[in-house]
Amino acid sequence: MDIKSPEFKQSARIALQDANLQKALGNLKAGFPGKRAAAVARVPEFEELRDQAHDLKNHILEHLDLYLEEFEARVVENGGQVHWCSTSEDARQTILQICREQNAKTVTKGKSMVTEEINLNEFLEENDIRPVETDLGEYILQLRGDHPSHIIAPAIHLNLEDVSEAFHEHHKRPKSDDPAELMAEAREMLRKQFVAADVGITGANFLVAETGSTLIVTNEGNGDLTQTLPKTHIVVSSIEKVVPTLEDMSLFLRLLARSATGQEYSVYNTLSSGNRRPDDQDGPENFHVVLVDNGRSDMVGTQFQDMLRCIRCSACMNHCPVYGSVGGHSYGWVYPGPMGSVLTPQMIGIEKAGLLPNASTFCGKCEEVCPVRIPLPKLMRHWREKEYEKHLSPKAVRWGLSGWAFLATRPRLYRLFSSSASKVMRMLGGGKGKVTKLPLAAGWTDHRDMPTPTGKTFMQQWDERQKQEKQP
Amino acid sequence: MSDTHTPPIKVGLFVTCLADMFRPEVAFATVKLLEQAGFLVDVPKAQTCCGQPAFNSGDNESTRKIARQTIEAFDGYRYVIGPSGSCIGMLHHYPELFADDDPWKARAEDLKARAFEITSFLVDEVDFSGIQSDFKGKITYHDSCSGLRELGIKQQPRQLLSEIDGLELNEMQEAETCCGFGGTFCVKYADISNRMVSNKTGFAADSGADTLVGGDLGCLLNMAGKLKREGREMEVRHVVELLAGMTDSAAIGDADYDLGQEL
Amino acid sequence: MSRAEIFANIRRGLRRTEATEAQKEAVRQRLQQHPRNRIPARSLHEHDAQVELFIRMAQEAAAEVIELESLEQVPTAAANTLEAKGQNELVLASDDSLANLGWAEVHERIECHQRVGQVGDQASLTLAFAGIAETGTLMLYSRPDSPTTLNFLPDTHLVVLSKQDIVGPYEDAWDRLRESAPGRLPRTVNMITGPSRSADIEQKLQMGAHGPRQLVIFLIP
């Protein structure tokens, strides 16, 4: 997927004017926050679960190498293979090689953001292997040549009409605008693919070290058909998803669905431990786990380590007023919203992704709802520090900032400046209490009036009052 | 609260740069409330801004300079009080700026322990219940993000406002959603900010209130500016103006004063 | 090559090479003792209350729960259920306890098979290993007698669950699973909470995406 993060502002402007997108984003805002709140309210222990999840993730990260070694050993005992991939390219080549060994023509896929991250579909197509997305949302996007705009509701930017048209065009069936019919159509179409596939690729929500299992969470059941029917199952996941035990996985699962869709529990939570056992009548003969690093190990021990606690629930974007205004595609790469604004600079570089951590009011709503208490605003601010250190922020901003800091560290001069600025603004206001155009502040006055100061500065007035009080 | 027989406790007022320049009434109202609560208010001259613009732009060196200056300016005051959850929240960030072995860290922690936003100070610290205000009207309350999420300010202003007899509070939808101000965000990402503030003014207007009240001047200037541009009739005021009974002056962004005298 | 690189990077971040003995011990202990984290109080009750909670939560997740007086009633109940849905074929898991039931008595109403699930299957019948009251979740696992495809391909999934196998929280199910399959987990462990669904079109929930459209639980004593 092309990186469009440097065009964030432009994309956002277009998104704000896109009536269809705005309508679709209305569905998100009307749905997720209320559902999460209701689900959370039913679990009095929820805050305690969050604390424990936070602490447990930190414990895992402090022992990450040990838990990964354990996980690997158990997978191998279970008859599977683990492949370690530092980069996206490593991961793509590894997966391609497995597919070639199987002489694969068709690959079905469960929903996986890591495979988006490594740009797997395009790569497989270039190598004459046909990837078929099986999650309903992802399937719709694939038909349209589109990409997910949300990590768990990939087609959230589309409306019924878009789906109906895409199906009509690709399935060559009469056009329907009944969501139930459309879903039945996708079910029928994909049944054939599930059976025809040579390889099934899924992601993993968690990797359990104790048992060498991978876990997928879905509501549709597509992931299960993807991994059960073909001869080979490839799990593509990332290294920070390892958890120690089944009990620990349960802690995270109690948080995941509630934070994500507001469900008590997702419909299908499936553990896979190795390949088909002797005498089993179904299940994959080959089981591979492709573990992707892609910059994550570089975050260990840094100020960004907290981000590795993320369990990809999407609560941060579901509640973000910026995401809710511009949608996921504006962010210009795989991971949108607050979690994306922290991850994207790590993965594609702050030079390209600098606008993302800046596009936040630091309202803190994301941190408020994060099940593992990631201080997302703080991490975005750390990226702004990096940007500032590397002199990447725009010159006008830097100059403005250093001029202001010069004054702010000289109280006497500052008072002189603020009293004159107050006077100038009052003159511009001409007694109307506001100005409608202000030089150097077009960003403000293009959209709103600027209330003007109501009199001399407080410091001036306070001074005068003190002097009067002292006079006999 | 201070005992009448002992000398009153001296409180340092953190004016905030926006109140200083745009709306001195807010600082005066804060002084009045603190005096009503029995405190002696002092305004250290060496204060400027809390440093948030630098902090949020990643310029930690400038932020540290401002932090040290603020810490020194407010040395010795039992309490440091300001009419802004955002600025006081910034004072609470100061310890993060210094390494553990830096002596400034302990001083920053000390300031943090003494620094309070006005409504939470009156309710949580001194249990003040002597609000005297004859304000009359229907209001709606915007919870500013920093105050709400960094300092836990939610019910304190509402509790104080409930002491005003003539006041009716109509809660708006999404009172806790950001108004889109975000410091420099509103200029750097003007289009997105505009969408957010438009949502906010819409909800405020739908509440049926005639005054929009909040505890942070940045947000209030943003929302007042949008309401004016939209031509809506709603007035905008800082919560302390209502609590101190100082609502005679024009509301934020409304026509106000005679220029002749001073200019 | 990548493996060494990744581990070196992690250890560099953690500012150590090999983990200390104490760190290794902490990990060993956690894995061996698998301590429980906070368990919500909602499922920590007497068994009867857990059964009640299971039924309530499963129904909330849109599963159909039918209480039977004995395992022997399953064939007739299955026939009745399928008939009501206009179905007359059933693929059975070949667990003895299911296969040895009196299917002959209903052979005129439903045609029974024992095999893996296939595209086009109307209905399947499998045996649950446990029911988790906390969220109304069924736990099933793969074995020669119970292929996983039976849990996903048919339109209607019928599941037999004994009340005795209902536990409160997931943790109790993990303990039972460890006991019944010592050493390693079955190839696939499914936790199923209600029938398949999707909200991918305009965030409006539609039932029956890729998995079974209906989930029916036969609850036996």
Residue from C156, C153, C158 nearest C218 by CA? C158
Q: Indicate whether A404 and A293 sit together in one domain.
A: no
Map tokens 């990077």 to a residue.
Answer: C9
Is A29 in CB contact (< 8 Å) with chain B? Answer: no
Q: Do C89 and C5 fall within a single domain?
A: no
Residues of chain C with pLDDT under 50: none
Which of residues A253, A279, A298 is at a domain's end? A298
Say whether pLDDT at B259 is over 70: no
Domain membership flag for residue A171: yes
The answer to whether A245 contacts C194, with C-beta atoms less than 8 Å apart, is no
Whether residue C196 is found in the same domain as residue C88: yes
Chain C residues in contact with A219 (beta carbon < 8 A)? 196-199, 209
Is A421 touching B (CB cutoff 8 A)?
yes
- Is B5 part of any domain? no
Q: Looking at the domain assignment, is residue B76 inside a domain?
A: yes
Residues B23 and B51 in one domain: yes
Q: Are residues B179 and B238 in the same domain?
A: yes
Residue A460 located in a structural domain: yes
Name subunits touching C (3+ CB pairs < 8 A): A
Contact between chains at B196 and A325 (C-beta distance less than 8 A)? yes
Q: Does B72 touch chain A (CB under 8 A)?
A: no
- B94, B195: one domain: no
In a domain, residue A434? The reply is yes
Select the residue of A45, A90, A160 nearest C38 (Cβ to Cβ). Answer: A45
Listed residues A298, A325, A359: the one ending a domain: A298
Q: Which residue among A278, A298, A318 closes a domain?
A: A298
A-chain residue closest to C1, CA distance: A84
Report the number of distinct structural domains present in chain C: 2
Whether B114 and B146 map to the same domain: the answer is: no
Per-residue confidence at A397, pLDDT binned at 50, 70, 90?
A: confident
Indicate the burial class of A38 (C-beta count within 10 angstroms; 0-12, 13-18, 19 or more).
exposed
For residue B248, is it within any domain? Answer: no
Subunits with 3+ C-beta pairs closer than 8 A to B: A
Clarify whether residues C90 and C194 are in a common domain: yes
Q: Are A244 and A60 contacting, i.e. CB atoms less than 8 angstroms apart?
A: yes
B144 and B113 in one domain? no
pLDDT at position B4 is: 54
User: With left for phi above 0 and alpha for psi between -120 and 50, is residue A208 left, alpha or beta?
Assistant: beta
pLDDT for residue B2: 46
Domain count, chain A: 2
For residue A275, list chain C residues with Cβ-Cβ distance below 8 A: 187
A447 contacts on B by Cβ (under 8 Å): 190, 193-194, 197, 226, 229
Is it the case that chain B and chain C have 3 or more CB pairs lying under 8 Å apart? no
Contacts B15 to A, Cβ<8 Å: 458-459
Please spell the DSSP secondary structure of C58-93, one letter per residue. Answer: HHHTT-EEEE-S-GGGHHHHHHHHHHHTT--EEEEP
Write out the residue range of the structural domain in which residue B162 sits: 130-243
Q: With an 8 Å Cβ cutoff, is B25 touching chain A?
A: yes
Distance CA A372, CA A466 (A): 51
Looking at the fold, whether C87 and C158 belong to one and the same domain comes out as yes
Q: Is A222 on the interface with B (CB under 8 A)?
A: no
Residues C62 and C126 in one domain: yes
The answer to the question of residue B231 being in a domain is yes
When pLDDT is averaged across residues B162-174 and rounded to a whole number, the result is: 97
B184 touches chain A (CB under 8 A): yes
To the nearest 10 degrees (0 to 180), the angle between helices B24-36 and A458-470 is: 50
Whether residue B144 sits in one domain with residue B42: no
Q: What is the pLDDT of residue A432?
A: 86
The reply to whether C11 touches chain A by the CB within 8 Å rule is yes
- 8 Å CB contact of B189 and A384: no
Q: Would A111 be classed as within a structural domain? A: yes
Predicted confidence (pLDDT) at residue B263 exceeds the cutoff of 80: no
Q: Does A163 touch chain C (CB under 8 A)?
A: yes
pLDDT greater at residue A141 or residue A2? A141
pLDDT above 80 for A84: yes
Q: Is residue A356 part of a domain?
A: no
Q: Is residue B95 part of a domain?
A: yes
- Asked if B72 and B159 sit in the same domain, the reply is no
Minimal CA–CA distance to C181: which of A273, A52, A325? A273
Query: Does C148 lie in the same domain as C53?
Result: yes
Let me know whether C98 and C182 are in one domain: yes
**How does residue A442 score in pLDDT terms, banded at 50, 70 and 90?**
confident
Token pair belonging to B43: 């305004």
CATH number of residue B103's parent domain: 3.40.50
> Does residue A293 lie within any of the structural domains?
yes
C14 interfaces chain A, CB cutoff of 8 Å:
yes
Q: Please identify among residues 22-41 of chain C the ones whose CB lies closer than 8 Å to any CB of chain A.
A: 23-24, 26-27, 30-31, 34-38, 40-41
CB within 8 Å of chain A, chain C residues 46-85: 57, 60-61
- Top-confidence range, A25-34, A463-472, B197-206: B197-206
Q: Model confidence over A311-348: pLDDT tens digits?
A: 999 999 999 999 999 999 999 999 999 999 999 999 99
The pLDDT assigned to A395 comes to: 86
What percentage of chain B carries pLDDT values higher than 70? 95
Look at residue A431 in the predicted model and tell me its pLDDT.
Answer: 81
Q: Are residues C158 and C81 in the same domain?
A: yes
Contact B62 A402 (CB under 8 A): yes
Q: Domain limits at C28?
A: 1-35
The answer to whether the beta carbons of residues A366 and A316 sit under 8 Å apart is: yes
- Are A293 and A426 part of one and the same domain? no
Task: Return the HEC string of chain A.
Answer: CCCCHHHHHHHHHHHHHCHHHHHHHHHHHHHHHHHHHHHHHCCCCHHHHHHHHHHHHHHHHHCHHHHHHHHHHHHHHCCCEEEEECCHHHHHHHHHHHHHHCCCCEEEECCCHHHHHCCHHHHHHHCCCEEEECCHHHHHHHHHCCCCCCCCCCCCCCCHHHHHHHHHHHHCCCCCCCHHHHHHHHHHHHHHHHHHCCEEEECCCEEECCCCEEEEEECCCHHHHHHHCCCEEEEEEEHHHEECCHHHHHHHHHHHHHHHCCCCCCCEEEEECCCCCCCCCCCCCEEEEEEECCCHHHHCCCCCHHHHHCCCCCHHHHCCHHHHHHCCHHHCCCCCHHHHHHHHHHHHCHHHHCHHHHCCCCCCHHHHHCCCCCCHHHHHHHHHHHHHHCCCCCHHHHHHHHHHHHHHCCHHHHHHHHHHHHHHHHHHHCCCCEECCCCCCHHHHCCCCEECCCCCCHHHHHHHHHHHHHCC
Number of domains in chain B: 2
Q: Are residues B140 and B61 in the same domain?
A: no
Q: CA C191 to CA A211: how far, in whole Å?
A: 16
Could you tell me the end-to-end alpha-carbon distance of chain C, in angstroms, rounded to an integer?
56
Q: Are residues B93 and B164 in the same domain?
A: no
pLDDT, tens only, C123-158: 999 999 999 999 999 999 999 999 999 999 999 999
Q: How confident is the model at residue B260 (pLDDT cuts 50, 70, 90)?
A: low
Task: Tell whether A318 lies on the interface with B, counting CB pairs under 8 A.
Answer: no
Write out the H or E segment, with its range, that includes residue C2.
Answer: helix C2-13
Residues C26 and C103 occupy one common structural domain: no
Chain A (137-156) residues lying within 8 Å, Cβ to Cβ, of chain C: 137, 140, 153-156
CB contact under 8 A, A449 and B228: yes
What CA dihedral angle connects A150, A153, A155 and A161, to 10 degrees?
-140
CB contacts of A245 in chain C (<8 Å) are 30-31, 34
B84/B170 same-domain check: no
Q: How far apart are the CA of B179 and the nearest CA of chain A, in angstroms?
A: 9
Q: Which two tokens stand for residue B102?
A: 């830096």
Q: Domain of A58?
A: 43-298
Give the H or E element holding residue C124.
strand C123-127
Indicate if B101 and B147 belong to the same structural domain. no
Q: In which order are the strands placed within the sheet that holds B115-117? A: B40-42, B10-13, B79-82, B115-117
CATH, residue C56? 3.40.50.10420
Statement to judge: residues C109 and C170 lie in one domain: yes
Tell me the whole-structure pTM to 2 decimals: 0.96
What one-letter code names the amino acid at A109? K
- Is C137 found in the same domain as C54? yes
Residue B258 has pLDDT above 70, yes or no: no
Average pLDDT of chain A, as a whole number: 96
Surface of A (290-309) touching C: CB under 8 A: 291, 293, 297-302, 305
Residues 108-147 of C with CB under 8 A from A: 115-117, 119, 135-137, 142-144, 147
CATH number at residue A233: 3.40.50.10420
pLDDT tens by residue, A299-313:
999 999 999 999 999
- What is the chain A residue with the closest CA to C31? A210
Domain match, A260 and A401 both: no
Q: Is C189 on the interface with A (CB under 8 A)?
A: yes
Tell me, yes or no, if B258 comes closer than 8 A to chain A by beta carbon.
Answer: yes
Residues C8 and C65 placed together within one structural domain of the fold: no
Contact present, A and C (at least 3 Cβ pairs less than 8 Å): yes
